[in-house]
Chains A and B, each alone.
Chain A
Amino acid sequence: MNVPMSWLKEYVKIDVDLKTFVDKMTLSGSKVEKVEETGKEITNVVVGKIIAEEKHPDADKLRVMKCDIGSEVVQIVTAATNVKVGDTVPVALAGADLAGGLKIKKGKLRGVESNGMFCSVEELGLTKDQFPESPEDGIYVFLNSQDMKLGEDVKPYFGLGEQVVEYEITSNRPDCFSILGIATEVAATFNTEFLFPEITVKETAEDCRKLAKIKIHEPELCNRYAGRIIKNVKVKDSPKWLKDKLISAGLRPINNIVDITNFLLLEFGQPMHAFDYDKLVGHEINVRLAKSNEEMVTLLGDTIKLDDSMLIIADAEKPIAVAGVMGGEETKVTEETTTILFECANFNAYSVRQTSKKLGIMSDSSKKYVKGLDPENISYAIDRAAQLINITNSGDVLGGLIDIYPVPRKAITIPYDVDWINAFLGINISKEEMESIFRRVRFVVDPKNCLVTIPTSRPDVTMNADLAEEIARMYGYDKIPVTLERATPTVGGKTYFQKTEDRITQMLRNCGAYGIRTYTIESPKIFDKLNVAKDSALRNVIAIQNPLGEDFSILRSTTVNSMLNALSLNNNKRNDSAMLYEIGKIFIKTDNQLPDEVEKIMLGLYAPNADFFALKSVAESLIDSLAIENASYVRNQELDFMHPGRCANLIIGKNNAGFLGEIHPEVLKNFGFNQKVYVMELDLNTIINATKKDLVYKPLPKFPSMERDLAVIVNNNILVGDMINLINERGGKNLVSTELFDVYEGEQVDKGKKSVAFNFKFRAVDKTLTDEEVSKSLKKILYALESTFEAKLR
């Protein structure tokens, strides 16, 4: 909300410097975003009167003028043709700054000294729309020159030099989207008087209520509709004071009727609309819902299709305006208009918001309505408009007001509790001081019964907490003493789950991985990029109804695309290697309203010498560091985006904890990789649930262990993991560890075969094992390998 200071000061007496004003307003809740001075760059342009003119001795197109600027007479050489002796004009003196950075210097024009320049409105950063009396191409000549003082700054005349303060208005204070609303806040903040404008209307004897019928068909969506009729309308330029006001607030003057409605939009925050009365079929106003096939041409000339959710204004036949959003072309005020009907109404904010959204039309009017307006303002606002018609001599205001207001909004009265408010805020102020604050914010106080009546413009105040806010902001947030809670102490901290999550990420960093942050929303196109089969469950994603674009239109069902994107960016930036991790969610559709949100540990890497086992070592380190038991790896050939020969599932007990492996060569191509990439996606819950919460110490061994090596030859399609599982199963209770130390394929063994060598450690809890006992165990292992995998002792 932009409010020119001079306009504001018409309603409230304040005399503080701008900095104090800005700081105090911000601290009382009307945050000042910025202060801008209109025409700030213009300097040293004064009122001057041309008192003599001579021809330039050397140039036909130039004239040498003598100009009185009060304190002295300056000589100015000009090429302008529209000025003459006796004209009063804006004079840019030597050293002046004009719009667009133009600087005026002393100089000579064809040998004749010139000490300044006469100005057009454009040179002052203004337009001819704003000052239609200015000549088509020439110097601006002041109209009422007798009122001008020579030598005076011209800025006030052009409405420049105004301090315009921009306030951030929060959505609980729609009343502050008006200059009067801001003025009440200023008055409250500075504890000074608020001066409501004096409104008087000169009416003719004719009663307008006989000339038009207004009917509200949807009282839920429109709780008040008022109209006034103006006859003998003269559509013309507004007077200068009115134009100046609009310009200072950043609006362009159009004509008197539009300017008056815009004035009301600024002053009261109340939108108004003017219909050409003679074009209203049946001289009727119907506030009703549109029919689903109705159409209307707007003021801007666009044809819009209406539907039966939209509130419209219709005459006896057709829509003539979309309520609170935009008027229609057909009934708009034109130069030929002689009678107008002013609309001043209150439409439901939600309804205007929905309609405005559906039509894609945001107007100055709809912007006000969507905030929610006070219907009590309407009678003042429409009378104020009538008063301006009087003042600007724009027509004859007929007698009476057509005012349909079936259920008036009533001011509510609520009790206040001084002790509660003091305790709630942590302050200690007297009942009287609180009451004086209530009066400052224009609440009516009944001190005997501790009741306040809240103005209808403040529907946000309904209970003690709201009253506490009023007290706090007027008393000063800065004055409320800082305390530390003295209530029940609590012990903060992380849960086991959260701590384990921290251990996991710490372990991944120890393995060399960097933490990343990826987007959980992505494009449905990624499934093709990941080679995912058309019927894959992964494609059954949750879609966003109103996405920013296809790229952010679904919730991810796998983390692989996120990880590949991050790795691919690094690859494209020619970073030689990258190992990245994140814990983040995937989203799985369910039969319920809400999807399952499953947290995944993702890790991905590429590096010059990386292979599957570089990735697997991270998984193994993680499992070891978390003391997870029963972890094994089984081949996974099901994932479309993984290399089927180089992908495994991590199984913990009976649960699948996720997969790890090399990305499918085709997918690598799709992502533009020139090297192999390895990724892992593990289920956070499964991992954390598999960790041992309570570790128990095992006594250190008392007896020495015995080591034995064993090398066997097997077919090369036998998985070493399967061999180890079998060994652990059959090795007996004294087998304490099995380490693989060599796998060999080549000249020394037959084709299609491999040699696998293990080192075993045997130990008993209660004695030193004998050679025979160990040999017996080793024989069992060999036998198991022979009978299951057709192994041969090497």
Chain B
Amino acid sequence: MKEQLENIKRSAISEIETSGTVKVLDDIRVRYLGKKGELTSVLKSMKNLSKEERPIIGQVANEVREMLEVSIKDRKLSLEKVEQNQRISAETIDITLPAKKVVVGKKHPLDKTLEELCDIFIGMGYEIVSGREVENGYYNFDALNLGKEHPARDEQDTFYINADTMLRTATSPVQVHTMENQSLPIRMVAPGKVYRSDEVDATHSPIFHQIEGLVIDKNITFGDLKGVLAEFAKKFFGDKVEVKFRPHYFPFTEPSAEVDVTCVMCGGVGCSVCKGEGFIEILGCGMVHPKVLEMSGIDSKKYQGFAFGMGIERLTMLKYNINDLRLFYDNDVRFLEQF
């Protein structure tokens, strides 16, 4: 009987080791260890053995059973692994195939620039203010120190609705509304559309966008104006940018300045964009004219401030190397999807 057990063990082990699939292995288990299995029937016939023999054979039989169970389990694990690997390999796909597209739109490049500018100034403590596009003469001109006979009133090619109503020629009227309505101190930027009677071409448009900035507080200096705009230029154009302030004239600021920065195209070496100068003009600014403060009811002896304004189209064209302003208003999707 012992010999019989040994034979079962030998043949079962050899079958287990050569089994190729989990299914075959399962059949082997049933054949040997199942209710009617070979080993089971040997165990069943043990009752015919003598008292002395029974424990000895019983121990051998148990050993054989355990051994077969362990072998089956091990074999099963390795077979499952093989089968899983086969499945995985069969499931391999071409991951370079393009995915199904979810179209997400994009911001208009002018909006992108506007948002970037607003973010920079919000970080410096500014609020965003918007204003009317149709203004009266007081807000568009008079309150900005452009009296009826001021020559600059002619230089700005104004679209008139009637003698005293016009499309705003700059975002500057927002300064006046803000000074009239807001408590001090003021730190604000005002982005928006402005209108001038320029024919459409690659660098002109009767409608374009500006952003205006205004700070009114005690102890504001021209040095602060330089500081804020230099900081802005670094954030917008990058840390390496060099900033230059040049005297200029605006009726509503005194002293006034124009600001040049290192040419973004050539990095200051000189190119066609900067006309060989290495610098390009990006904005106008100045200390708010005391008359402008007084007209809006602010005591110019106690408060000072500065204001600045820049063209969004120009900044955007510089930023993305766009050479024709009309592209902004054509709204061709092939243009819009690039931003």
Contacts and interface: CB of A to CB of B under 8 A. Distances in A.
B329 A518 contact: yes
Interface string A490-527: 11111100100000010011111111111111000000
B228 interface: yes
B22 interface: no
Contact of B224 (A371, A483, A548): A483
Contacts of B323: none
A61 B315 CA distance: 65
A498 B128 contact: yes
B136 to A, nearest CB: 6
B121 A581 contact: no
Nearest to B301: A420
Contact of A513 (B105, B167, B226, B329): B105
A593 B215 CA distance: 30
A585 B193 CA distance: 10
Given A424-B287, A494-B122, A544 B167 contact: yes
Contacts of A473: 247, 255
Nearest to B158: A546
B152 A517 contact: no
Given A480-B222, A595-B134, A512 B246 contact: no
B332 interface: yes
Interface stretch (A167-175, A635-643, A708-716): A167-175
A555 B134 contact: yes
Contacts of B256: 469
A171 B333 contact: no
B222 A466 contact: no
Interface in A516-568: 516-521, 542-548, 552, 555, 566
A488 B215 CA distance: 11
Contact of A544 (B160, B230, B254): B160
Contacts of A545: 159-162
Given A498-B128, A573-B332, A466 B223 contact: no
Contacts of A511: 105
Nearest to A562: B331
B9 interface: no
Instruction: Report which residue of B162, B164, B165, B249 has the largest number of chain A beta carbons within 10 angstroms of its beta carbon.
Output: B249
Instruction: Report which residue of B245, B328, B331 has the largest number of chain A beta carbons within 10 angstroms of its beta carbon.
Output: B331
Nearest to A547: B159
Interface string A332-366: 00000000000000000110010001000000000
Interface in B143-192: 148-152, 154-155, 159-162, 164-165, 167, 185, 187
A597 B161 CA distance: 14
Contact of A170 (B135, B164, B249): B249
A465 B254 CA distance: 6
Contacts of B207: 519-521
A463 B227 contact: no
B255 A426 contact: no
A481 B227 CA distance: 8
Given A515-B107, A546-B197, A597 B331 contact: no
Contacts of A371: 151
A582 B135 CA distance: 23
Interface string B313-331: 0000000000000001111
B249 to A, nearest CB: 3
Contact of A173 (B106, B249, B255, B334): B249
B23 interface: no
Nearest to B259: A477
B218 interface: yes
B142 interface: no
B330 A492 contact: no
Nearest to A578: B333
A88 to B, nearest CB: 40
Interface string A577-604: 0111110010100000111010000000
A652 interface: no
A207 B24 CA distance: 139
B83 interface: no
B244 interface: yes
B107 A487 contact: no
B152 A171 contact: yes
A542 B332 contact: no
Contacts of B104: 509-510, 512
B262 interface: no
A561 to B, nearest CB: 13
Given A469-B247, A542-B161, A587-B134, A509 B105 contact: yes
Nearest to B152: A171
Interface string B213-249: 0010111111110111011000000000000111111
B257 interface: yes
Nearest to A491: B125
Interface string B119-135: 00111111110001111
A468 interface: yes
Given A423-B219, A426-B222, A569-B330, A593 B164 contact: yes
B256 to A, nearest CB: 8
B108 A521 contact: no
Contact of B106 (A170, A372, A478, A514): A514
Nearest to A585: B133
A486 interface: yes
A427 B159 contact: no
Contact of B206 (A349, A464, A481, A548): A548
A515 B161 contact: no
Interface string A5-39: 00000000000000000000011110100000000
A509 B107 contact: yes
A489 interface: yes
Contacts of B133: 520, 585, 587, 597
A193 B251 CA distance: 30
Contacts of B111: 505, 515, 517
B246 A27 contact: yes
A516 B330 CA distance: 9
A372 B151 contact: yes
A170 B248 contact: yes
Contacts of B251: 172
B80 interface: no
A517 B132 CA distance: 18
B220 to A, nearest CB: 6
Contacts of A581: 105
A349 B148 CA distance: 12
Instruction: Report which residue of A172, A498, A547, A595 has the largest number of chain B beta carbons within 10 angstroms of its beta carbon.
Output: A172
Given A424-B304, A426-B224, A480-B223, A570 B161 contact: no
A192 interface: no
Nearest to A460: B249
Contacts of A569: 330-332
A205 interface: no
Contacts of A370: 151, 154
A438 B332 CA distance: 56
Nearest to B197: A548
Given A26-B246, A487-B185, A516-B331, A482 B124 contact: no
Given A171-B151, A575-B334, A597 B134 contact: yes
Nearest to A483: B223
Nearest to B161: A542
A170 B247 CA distance: 10
Interface of B: 103-108, 110-111, 118, 121-128, 132-136, 148-152, 154-155, 159-162, 164-165, 167, 185, 187, 193, 195, 197, 199, 206-207, 209, 215, 217-224, 226-228, 230-231, 244-249, 251, 254-258, 287, 289-290, 304, 328-334, 336-337
Pairs of residues from A and B, 10 with the lowest C-beta to C-beta distance, nearest first? A426-B223, A426-B221, A170-B249, A515-B108, A469-B255, A29-B247, A350-B149, A509-B105, A487-B217, A516-B331
15 contacts: A171-B150, A353-B151, A425-B223, A426-B221, A468-B254, A477-B226, A483-B224, A484-B227, A494-B122, A505-B111, A514-B108, A520-B133, A548-B199, A575-B332, A587-B133
Given A493-B122, A580-B333, 5 more contacts: A424-B287, A493-B127, A494-B128, A517-B108, A521-B207
